[in-house]
Structure 1
């Protein structure tokens, strides 16, 4: 498909983090963009502020307002939309070109120099670090992010169209539409078993992704993963490795050994060894692309993070409040490591909203083990997202598995009072559901504002 022949782009699920980045991209490139989403959010408000019409009722009658026709309109949908969605059914039955988000990314990236970040954890942070590095190095780059960058207050970094930086998402095998020049795999922990069935199928898909690289392409893999490529790791014997780590005033200071040189006294402000690993692989990909070392160092030091990735909302001597998107046991472990490293000896309360019935079922014991590490655990009901309930899989069931005696299951309406009553020094909200919408209220309550 020639995207130049497209005048209208209509999104079903335009408020999704990946979908809205594409909407911003097409809008910036002069297309008429519009779309549907289920509910208004900060993201849809931002799109409307740009002049992109968005409506919230699944009705074919609404489409008349957008003057769409099948000859010059592209329809983009997210797999999270049900197959019987009225608008999706209409477009499929009326001769429109209807493609998934991942297919559009494939089309955009196939004629550019593409850097792709794959892995079950760390994609969004790594992609945003890499996009920021490329922007600071003034590369003509478009970076599609799976989160809102604090540096740019956007999920799209737009500085040209010759180079693309993208998340290579394993969900629904979406990343197999890409053909990158430089790619990395950060992790291959079991996840999305509702799609893959078992961990071996997930691993196979990463091998398939590794074979999607363009000729002369370069693949980076975290040290220890069962795929061949350039390796990276923290304090490892790897092609790229971090050494001499120090923490000064909450900032990591470290050296990086590359195949050709040692870069000394780099600075990076995000807590947690997992974020150091994300910074390392972003640096390695930028070095292989050809970015100057001095500019890379400048970019790492100025990187501010991604919203809902270890985001500080209160940072006082007597109280810290952090919100994080972690929704897999390994991600919760990473958050725990970061908190204990930055706040040794402090009492830590974790508020967790499980995401998906299937993920809760598949990793219940691992979730219980990761949550048991905190001093106090508050559990919310499972956020279903695209799923129907699974018999026996509930937050009550998960709560029983948690070894920590200081644990409780509450409703969202009880959350504010429960958090205010806690004596914890550090409070965390964790999860990929709508718990993020509670952050403003929790911050307000903890700040003792009237």
Structure 2
């Protein structure tokens, strides 16, 4: 099915952060858009306000009539939806065109210049940063992001004049293999999703194959010293980056009084005095990668400076709720050991003389089973560790796998405790935290607004 033939699009799993961005793209293009999701949320309510027809029961009769014509309807589904889903079965039986979200994005990279951001971690922040740089420049862009941009209050940007599309390239379920990037960044390749890949070697091979998909005469910007081999097509230029070395890097870094300023060193043009609008140390490195792709496509030095200074961040990515001398409170999506370590190091770098406490909700039984020692090592870089039960997401419990595996392997002498997730508000009332961060990709974040109110009431 060609994009020009589509009149209606139906999403099975419409409420996901990535799915909703694509749903909004088609709705803004004037198509009829409908969908199913298991549970109502703030995001699905917003989609409904925008004219997207969503229901929450697995019922073929609730599918809008405009979405029941196989000749003009594209069906998009998320891998999290089981094959036994009644609506998905209906579409299969009646020979509808059915694609994963990643396939749809892959089609867009064939008709636009795709700027794609891959990596175990860092891809959401870096892609959102690049999208902001491009959008506020003379180039503009479309963007499909894995988080809600605080600059735009949404997870997508739509442009009727730009040929660029910024995409978060997700390695889960090998989704990024559908893409055909014009240029790509790879931020990290620390093994993850071993329930899908099985082995570290298979995970790294998946990234190697991804580099083959970059279009001839395109560009790969890859973090220096990654444990993977790229295999790019003829004509693809390869650059390396990191915080302190590589083709793109930072020099003259100044971290003081809550601000971060540095010089951007580049083979295209050095740019002095880049100030971070979201002054978190990890954003030095994220910013280098984002600026590299923006600059390679024609962003000017002044546009880079302005874009980085006005970048406001992503919901749940170093998302500060309170920041003062009495309390610092933030939420972060970190759910992989390397992300947690980076979070700990960044917070200790910003607040070297304050006590930093983490409340962490492990995400997935398989990830806990595979990395509990690494989780314990990373969490031990905080001053105090509070753990809740595992958030299962799509998984069933695994015998012998619980939060205790992490708890028992925390470094000796570290302050630690385990609590039930539902008691987190009571704990916040009882304790007077200095610097507190809530980490994880589960649903503990639902308590963050109420936690912030409790902490504010103590000031």
* Alignment-derived partner of residue 401 in structure 1: 409
Q: Deviations for 1:5-60, whole angstroms, at most 9, x for unmatched residues?
A: 11111101111010000011011111111111111111111111112111111122
TM-score if structure 1 supplies the norm length?
Answer: 0.97
Matches within 5 A, 1:200-211: 200-211=201-212
Answer whether contact 1:76 1:98 (CA < 8 A) is retained.
yes
Answer whether contact 1:221 1:227 (CA < 8 A) is retained.
no
Q: Deviations for 1:154-184, whole angstroms, at most 9, x for unmatched residues?
A: 0011223511110111111111111111111
| 1:234 counterpart SS class | coil
State the shift of 1:419 in Å.
Answer: 2.1
Structure 2 stretches of 5 or more lacking a match? 231-237
Correspondence for 1:230 among 239, 244, 247:
239
Matches within 5 A, 1:183-332: 183-225=184-226, 226-227=228-229, 229-236=238-245, 238-332=246-340
Please give the alpha-carbon distance, in whole angstroms, between the structure 1 residues aligned to 2:256 and 2:355: 22
State the shift of 1:367 in Å.
Answer: 0.4
* Alignment-derived partner of residue 334 in structure 1: 342
* Alignment-derived partner of residue 123 in structure 1: 123
The structure 1 segments of at least 4 consecutive aligned residues displaced by more than 6 Å after TM superposition are none
* Alignment-derived partner of residue 427 in structure 2: 418
Please give the alpha-carbon distance, in whole angstroms, between the structure 1 residues aligned to 2:203 and 2:279: 29
* Alignment-derived partner of residue 434 in structure 1: 443
Correspondence for 2:377 among 369, 373, 377:
369
Please give the alpha-carbon distance, in whole angstroms, between the structure 1 residues aligned to 2:254 and 2:282: 15
State the shift of 1:275 in Å.
Answer: 1.7
Cα distance, 1:411–1:66 mapped onto 2, change above 3 Å: farther
TM-score if structure 2 supplies the norm length?
Answer: 0.95
* Alignment-derived partner of residue 9 in structure 1: 9
* Alignment-derived partner of residue 444 in structure 1: 453
CA RMSD of aligned residues (A): 1.5
State the shift of 1:274 in Å.
Answer: 2.4
Answer whether contact 2:137 2:303 (CA < 8 A) is retained.
yes
Structure 1 stretches of 5 or more lacking a match? none
State the shift of 1:269 in Å.
Answer: 3.0
State the shift of 1:68 in Å.
Answer: 2.3
Please give the alpha-carbon distance, in whole angstroms, between the structure 1 residues aligned to 2:6 and 2:76: 12
Matches within 5 A, 1:147-162: 147-160=147-160, 161-162=162-163
Answer whether contact 2:142 2:156 (CA < 8 A) is retained.
yes
Matches within 5 A, 1:165-180: 165-180=166-181
Pairing 1:106–2:106 present = yes
State the shift of 1:436 in Å.
Answer: 1.6
Please say which of residues 412-421 and 226-235 is displaced more in the overlay. Answer: 226-235
